[in-house]
Amino acid sequence: MLTLKLLRDDPQFVVEKLAVKNFDASEIVEKILEQDRIRRTCQTELDASLAAQKAKAKEIGTLMHQGLREEAEAVKKEVAGMKEHSKAIEARMEESRELQDSLLVLLPNIPDDIVPPGKSAEDNVVVRMGGAMPQLGNDAQPHWELASRYDIIDFDLGVKLTGAGFPVYKGKGARLQRALIQYFLDFNTKAGYTEIEPPILVNEASGFGTGQLPDKEGQMYFAQQDKFYLVPTAEVPVTNIYRDTILSESDFPVKMTAYTPCFRREAGSYGKDVRGLNRLHQFDKVEIVQLSLPEASERALNEMVLHVERLVNSLELPYRIVRLCGGDMSFTSAITYDFEVFSAAQQRWLEVSSVSNFKSYQANRLKLRYKDGDGKINLAHTLNGSSLALPRIVAAILENNQTPDGINIPKVLHEYTRFIRID
């Protein structure tokens, strides 16, 4: 959530920057500032009323001391009327504050200066590429056919048990999933991230804190009876660990990693591009989260991008890193780098990670703050990244490593899978 101070200081800057995200903020910003003016006017009136009441209270004491009881009672009635007036002012203030808050959450985060303008993924900028492209024959099969051929993932059984988008992993397919999760966690913890095992159900306050609510209700699964949401990513519970917290400068950086199953409705997703593992309603993902001092968050972002790049590299997959344009970024992000791996059999790039800096946007919603050396309370910065999402990683591993004798497993996974080939 953007701060009121930013909107007061330079509303035109906010409007112009949000236009990079193709978001017209002019009307909302003006309404927010109007409510801010009303609230501050009310505060001035309330302060004056309370001061007058205090003065009248002293007057009552003086009159009573002088034995002028009738005059004192008259002033008491006057004070009673002033108190009612103060209550009415407070009610107007609260109404204005609630309306202001409801408008503030409609504004997305301001994009960084280096975020390119654009409307869709077509306008994203490739930052760099790595890894060798696999050389497959014309008979190369997509992962959903390989999954059926080697009986490692059963999409039809998932439909029977639950519905489309809920695959069942079997045999070496299940072991590959488990191996990837463990490898990703080990890779992250060796880099200094503390492993967290969070709940996979969160309350509304947690969803609001990281910006999933009220923006993405339609994409989240909801347990109506208990009012809990199934997590769309581990970012939500892990970042919310520090909701309503004041840290010290010496606590930073805070680095956490977590594995969770993730649940997303992905309504309206159809066609060949979402076949097989390309888009699921339930999938496994390992996440990294950092809390940073504001002056260090750009460095933290670069560090996280390099960390994920090393991880993708270790799997021997061809990849590219793209900086998202304004129109392709999330509501809460200030800057995002996507990692995509090349799917040789499908001849397309598949997104496997997003690494984002939210700056103070999430922290303002979370009330995640820190006390600096001068004792001043400031908002922290938050960052997160996929490290990694499994479905499309698995798809690329299966497709890119297929041979006439089976599917070769990347070397770094051998000690985790306890097999080197799926055959």
Write out pLDDT tens, residues 114-164: 999 999 999 999 999 999 999 898 889 999 999 999 999 999 999 999 999
Angle (deg, nearest 10), helices 26-65 and 69-104? 160
**343's tokens:** 């799917």
**pLDDT at residue 71 in the model:** 87
**pLDDT at residue 267 in the model:** 57
- Against a cut of 0.85, is the pTM above it? yes
pLDDT of 377 over the 70 cut: yes
Beta bridge partners of residue 354, listed in sequence order:
338
| Cα Rg of the chain (Å, integer) | 28
Report the b/e string of 156-166 with b at 16+ CB within 10 A.
eebeeeeeebb
Average pLDDT, the chain: 95
**pLDDT at residue 328 in the model:** 97
278-309 pLDDT per residue, tens: 999 999 999 999 999 999 999 999 999 999 99
CA dist., res. 417 & res. 329, Å (int): 35
Do 121-422 and 4-104 fall under one CATH topology? no
Domain ranges in the chain are 4-104, 121-422
Q: What is the CATH number of domain 4-104?
A: 1.10.287
Domain 121-422, CATH among 1.10.1060.10, 3.30.930.10, 3.90.245.10, 2.30.30.100:
3.30.930.10
65-118 pLDDT per residue, tens: 898 988 888 989 999 999 999 999 999 999 999 999 999 999 999 999 999 999
